[in-house]
Amino acid sequence: MTATSVAEVLDRSAERDRYEQRILGAWREGFAAGELAHADDYAAGFHDGALARKHAQHDLVEMARLDAARWGPLGREHFGDQQPGDYQGGALPLERPGGEVFLAGPAVHYHQCTAACRRYLPGWYGLAEAADILDGLPGNYADDADRLRRQAVRQGGAAA
């Protein structure tokens, strides 16, 4: 190699070093500008992630609560099993010994229901109150209402 070629190689090498320094400087400036522009993104992302995790935990607890309410404490596998408070069979009583009558509501009516049918909720009613409700219904419940009134008088209640 000659001295001129060595000098050319060194000049070319110095030029490439300056080019690399310029490229590296530009990359560092761009990276620093990006860091500055998005300095709070990591904290915001961390906060969003923590919030999403907390929401998922709350949703999981709510789903577990709903599942226990829907299927019972033993879960879906034992949903149809006999429970201690279950009805054990036999005819359902329509009258309680204390002088109450169960009225089931519009679901069991054999007629086109009116507003009078919807004025009362299904449940247990006193004998006189049940007779008054039956009198207001559009079906033929006169015999049942009279029977309830006679029974109320026998039990010491006032006749309606």
Question: What is the mean pLDDT for each group of 10 consecutive residues in the chain (160 residues)?
Answer: 78 89 94 85 84 95 89 78 64 67 78 80 86 83 85 69
Token pair for 93: 């009583």
* Per-residue buried b or exposed e for 71-103, using 16+ beta carbons within 10 Å of the residue's own CB: eeeeeeeeeeeeeeeeeeeeeeeeeeeebbbeb
Determine the pLDDT at residue 160.
Answer: 43
Q: How many residues does the chain have?
A: 160
pTM of the model: 0.39
Determine the pLDDT at residue 30.
Answer: 92
Domain boundaries, the chain: 7-71, 95-154
